[in-house]
């Protein structure tokens, strides 16, 4: 028969294996609190065994609970025995419960370890620095998110470091810095201070970041100063579906260039195949930019104010809706169809109608004549809120392209139709 002492043995074993499972992530936090970064990576060798240690810890604690909860065997001889001595606190269910909770906290430590790190200082805006340089550091010893936070914490202290993106999964840190204030050797030393070691580093540029730039005709006809989000969105999303080859796809704000960041293992033939397939599917012609032409785009990429990734182009669609609404109101004012008292309110209504249309479609092909006829009806109803039911003059919307508006004179303001592409 297994005694209570054995139950305590299983309890202790469960705690020890739980701690061991996350020791590689616990030590960086201890290092930070103790002010001794050198011990941070001492237990990184445990990481491969982590899943097995977690499994062993769960099994040991489960067996300890089984021993504690199973009914005790009784027989006739028990009547002549002395009363069993009361178990101590260390052998009680309460203590086992406390130990189990502690073990769970240890096993899940990597999930919340970052809360122990101070919040790094705000990263500087990259667009305003002329001397910026980007270097990718390959780092040995990182095993979890706590390791990332430890490296980031040290990088945030380096004067001249503008931005950093550390990943334990790729065992690397991509650091952008002002080369007039700091150099790569100083940054390497800061990373090494954590206890993890920089194995190598590479200077990044448009050629080796895996980013390709393509000229693409995605300018809005209705808002020529920005890209057409409703057309670009589905093309970008389709590019990102090739997630074994593509890390991300962006459209620049002007709607003239698409940037594709490729996975490092994607060969040139695969890139050409993907671009040609997406180009054909969306009837969009991609032209690879020459290296000399990519320089200016590489400087701003991937600034969130200049580049829009995937579904982020919805922001451009909303901006387009605002421009169309402004142009529509201008057309109505020229025809003296609205009063200044409700001009701003009516413009806001029109903007929302167009924004709802652009954000609701599942394909650019959904922007049909029928869809625009519905918009026309909605704008008509919106106008009646201000002038009275049946009193809003009927004004047709022109949904033709810019080229069509040139050929079709019925789109001109004189005809009573509003060609937003031309206003």
In CATH terms, are 126-203 and 211-314 the same topology?
Answer: yes
At residue 407, the 3 state secondary structure works out as helix
Q: With 0-12 CB in 10 A as exposed, 13-18 as middle and 19+ as buried, what is 136? A: middle
Q: What is the mean pLDDT of residues 52-64?
A: 71
The predicted pLDDT at position 335 comes to: 77
In this predicted model, what pLDDT tens digit does every residue of 66-99 receive, in sequence order? 776 777 665 555 555 555 556 676 667 787 777 7
> Helices 145-155 & 23-34, crossing angle to 10 degrees?
30
pLDDT of residue 417: 41
Q: Which residue has the higher pLDDT, 33 or 92?
A: 92
Q: What is the pLDDT of residue 277?
A: 94
The single residue listed with the structure tokens 């080369």 is: 179
Distances (CA, A) of 279 to 55, 273, 307: 49, 10, 20
Q: Which CATH architecture has domain 211-314?
A: 2-Layer Sandwich (3.30)
pLDDT at 105: 73
Q: Which two tokens stand for residue 393?
A: 């003059």
Class (C level, CATH) for 126-203: alpha beta
Residues sharing a CB contact under 8 Å with residue 55, sequence separation 6 or more, in sequence order: none
**What pLDDT does residue 416 have?**
35
* Domain limits, the chain: 4-67+95-115, 126-203, 211-314, 316-419
Nearest to 98 by CA among 20, 18, 3, 4: 18
Task: Return the number of other C-beta atoms located less than 10 Å from residue 71's C-beta.
Answer: 5
Cα–Cα nearest to 157, from 195, 196, 118, 200: 118
Taking only the tens place, the pLDDT of each residue in 172-210 is 998 988 888 999 999 999 998 887 889 888 776 555 567
Strand partners, 260: 212, 249
pLDDT tens, position by position, 206-235: 555 678 899 999 998 888 889 999 889 999
Q: Residue 338 is inside which H or E element, if any?
A: none
């Amino acid at each position: 028969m297994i005694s209570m002492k054995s139950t305590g043995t299983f309890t202790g074993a469960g705690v020890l294996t739980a701690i061991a499972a996350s020791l590689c992530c616990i030590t960086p936090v201890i290092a930070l609190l103790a002010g001794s970064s050198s011990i941070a990576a001492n237990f990184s060798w445990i990481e491969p065994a982590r899943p097995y240690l977690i499994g062993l810890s769960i099994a040991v604690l489960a067996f300890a609970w089984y021993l504690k909860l199973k009914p005790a065997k009784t027989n006739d001889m028990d009547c002549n025995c002395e009363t069993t001595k009361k178990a101590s606190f260390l052998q009680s269910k309460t203590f086992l419960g406390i130990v189990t909770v502690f073990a769970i906290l240890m096993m899940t430590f990597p999930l919340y370890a970052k809360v122990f790190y101070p919040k790094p200082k705000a990263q500087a805006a990259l667009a305003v620095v002329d001397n910026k340089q980007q270097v990718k550091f390959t780092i040995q010893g990182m095993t979890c998110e706590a390791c990332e936070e430890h490296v980031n914490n040290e990088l945030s202290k380096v004067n001249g470091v503008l931005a950093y993106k550390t990943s334990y999964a790729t065992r690397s840190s991509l650091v952008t810095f002002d080369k007039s204030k700091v150099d790569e050797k100083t940054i390497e030393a800061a990373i090494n201070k954590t206890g993890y070691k920089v194995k190598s580093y590479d200077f990044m540029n448009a050629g080796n970041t895996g980013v390709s730039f393509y000229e693409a005709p995605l300018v809005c006809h209705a808002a020529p100063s920005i890209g057409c989000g409703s057309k670009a969105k589905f093309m970008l999303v389709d590019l990102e579906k090739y997630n074994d080859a593509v890390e991300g796809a962006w459209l620049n704000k002007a709607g003239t260039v698409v940037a594709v960041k490729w996975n490092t293992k994607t060969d040139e033939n695969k890139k050409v195949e993907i671009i040609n397939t997406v180009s054909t599917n969306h009837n969009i012609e991609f032209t690879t930019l020459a290296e000399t032409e990519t320089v200016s785009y590489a400087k701003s990429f991937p600034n969130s104010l200049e580049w829009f990734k995937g579904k982020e182009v919805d922001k451009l669609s909303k901006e387009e809706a605002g421009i169309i609404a402004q142009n529509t109101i201008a057309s109505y004012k020229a025809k003296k169809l609205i009063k200044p008292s409700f001009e701003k309110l009516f413009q806001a209504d029109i903007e929302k109608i167009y924004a709802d249309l652009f954000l609701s479609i599942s394909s650019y092909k959904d922007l049909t004549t029928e869809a625009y006829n519905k918009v026309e009806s909605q704008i008509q109803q919106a106008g009646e809120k201000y002038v009275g039911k049946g009193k809003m003059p009927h004004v047709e919307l022109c949904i033709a392209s810019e080229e069509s508006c040139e050929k079709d004179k019925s789109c001109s303001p004189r005809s009573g139709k509003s060609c937003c592409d031309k206003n």
